């Protein structure tokens, strides 16, 4: 099958497919005499796997590791469990970051409880008065 058909079956764009190939996540297809890519059912399965991992917010390195473990000679799935446990930890960290952000926004919102002149807006004044923090490294594995 050609790239357009694969894209239609997998419900994604041809650019996404090319990107995953370039990133080494999707196996390179064979080429026909006219140099068109020729995909097989294996590519459909790989692409669905990759897209499912991405829907769980997994980073490319995590997906690459899972693909390697799937194709490797592991005796058991303990490394896969470890990878998923690490990903869950990343999600927990991100949730904590988002809760802190939410609280900051709620606190800021309380500084202006009713509409008034912009120059008197407590939100604007609060944003101007906030100390500018240095770049904090994100707890997310995505950066």
Q: How many helices (H) and strands (E) does the chain have?
A: 6, 2
pLDDT grade, residue 12 (50/70/90)? very high
pLDDT digits (tens, 9 = 90+) for 84-134: 999 999 999 999 999 999 999 999 999 888 888 888 899 999 999 988 876
Question: What backbone phi and psi angles, to 5 degrees, belong to 30?
Answer: -75, 165
Task: Measure the CA–CA gap between 64 and 104, rounded to whole angstroms.
Answer: 36
- The predicted pLDDT at position 60 comes to 96
* pLDDT given at position 139: 58
Check residue 74 and give its pLDDT: 74
The pLDDT value recorded for residue 109 is 92
Residue 57 has pLDDT above 80, yes or no: yes
CA distance 103 to 110: 11
Average pLDDT value for the chain? 90
Considering the chain, what percentage of its residues have pLDDT values greater than 90? Answer: 68
26-41 residue pLDDT tens: 998 988 888 888 999 9
- What is the Cα–Cα distance from 135 to 14, expressed in whole angstroms? 36
Q: Given this model, what pLDDT does residue 140 score?
A: 58
Question: Under CATH, what is the fold of the domain 3-71?
Answer: Multidrug-efflux Transporter Regulator; Chain: A; Domain 2 (1.10.1660)
Work out the pLDDT band at 73, boundaries 50, 70, 90: confident
What integer pLDDT is reported at residue 142 of this predicted model?
A: 54
Q: Would the pTM of this model clear 0.85, i.e. be above it? A: no
Q: Which two tokens stand for residue 59?
A: 């980073």
> CA-CA distance, 94 to 140, in Å (whole number)?
6
């Amino acid at each position: 099958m050609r790239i357009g058909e694969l894209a239609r079956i997998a419900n994604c764009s041809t650019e996404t497919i090319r990107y995953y190939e370039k990133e080494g996540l999707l196996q390179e297809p064979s080429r026909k005499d006219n140099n068109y890519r020729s995909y097989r059912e294996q590519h459909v399965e790989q692409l669905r796997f990759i897209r499912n991992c991405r829907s769980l917010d997994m980073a490319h390195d995590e997906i690459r590791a899972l693909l390697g473990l799937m194709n490797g000679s592991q005796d058991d799935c303990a490394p896969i469990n470890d990878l998923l446990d690490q990903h869950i930890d990343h999600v927990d960290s991100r949730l904590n970051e988002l809760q802190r952000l939410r609280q900051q926004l709620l606190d800021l919102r309380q500084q202006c409880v009713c509409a008034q002149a912009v120059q008197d807006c407590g939100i604007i004044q609060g944003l101007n008065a906030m100390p500018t923090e240095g770049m904090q490294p994100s707890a997310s594995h995505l950066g």
